[in-house]
Structure 1
Amino acid sequence: MSPREADNAPLPPRSGAQAPQDGALPALARRCLDDMKAEDVVEIDLVGKTSIADTMFIASGRSDRHVNAIADRIIQTLKDEGHGAARVEGMPACDWVLIDAGDVIVHVFQPQVRSFYNLEKMWGADRPAERVGG
């Protein structure tokens, strides 16, 4: 590989993870949410709206234990499937857990916390697309 080709080569995935195939992460998250009986699952396409991720899932768990179980399943499955360690916030309280897996972000809420923050309205289809490049 020439120095010029090396400059344009993609960076390796974080944490020794394998590079995901297109659609693999959203499908994995969707499968985990379904398997764990997450409630009121919403999938939001973020392409063209922001650069933070391509897909966002918002789901509810019935209790702090259910939220914890859903989040644990997603985190462990990401590792098991070779996607590395996701960044996670909110596990101690489990009223809102955020899992950032790069191109996919998953929010798992207890219902009362979900209705308070109302992320669906903030990121939903009625939100105008951000302008990229001014």
Structure 2
Amino acid sequence: MHRLVLASLEDDQAVETVSIPLAGKSSIADYMVVASGRSTRQVASMATKLAEKIKAEFRVSARIEGLATADWVLIDAGDVIVHLFRPEVRSFYNLERMWSFGDAPSGGEPN
């Protein structure tokens, strides 16, 4: 699923995609992926397409929060949690720093 998420975001031209491994650090998921879109329209489109791909490939309905405003959209797909932001909102919350646990977040390489 992690690879599918990264590939989908790359296809949709997400900006500054960061993958943070959570296995052994948190029980909420194996990975957290953070990415930006250039506009609310792009963020909403990326989120919708990603949820559709997850459902088609894994038969899992991902939960989506924040789609109405699309400033910050959270997609909970179980093993992978995805945060999609507009750039200003992303820099304000700075999730990568909060969740990196002292490790440097990895760039989008699947493990």
**Normalization by structure 1: what TM-score?**
0.74
Instruction: Verify: 1:80 aligned to 2:46, yes or no.
Output: no
Unaligned runs of 5+ in 2: 104-111
RMSD: 1.0
- Partners of 1:59 and 1:124 in 2: how far apart? 15
Report deviation, 1:84.
Answer: 1.5
Report deviation, 1:125.
Answer: 4.3
Pick the structure with more strand per residue: 2
Which residue in 2 is equivalent to 1:101? 77
- Partners of 1:85 and 1:47 in 2: how far apart? 22
3-state secondary structure, aligned to 2:23: coil
3-state secondary structure, aligned to 1:98: strand
**Normalization by structure 2: what TM-score?**
0.89
Report deviation, 1:83.
Answer: 3.1
Which residue in 2 is equivalent to 1:67? 43
Q: Which has the higher contact order (CA 8 A, sep 6+)?
A: 2
Kindly tell me the number of residue pairs found equivalent between the two proteins.
Answer: 103
Larger Rg: 1
Which residue in 2 is equivalent to 1:34? 10
Which residue in 2 is equivalent to 1:91? 67
Deviations 1:49-68 (A, max 9, x none): 11000001000000000001
- Partners of 2:50 and 2:86 in 1: how far apart? 16
Which residue in 2 is equivalent to 1:131? none
Percent sequence identity is 51
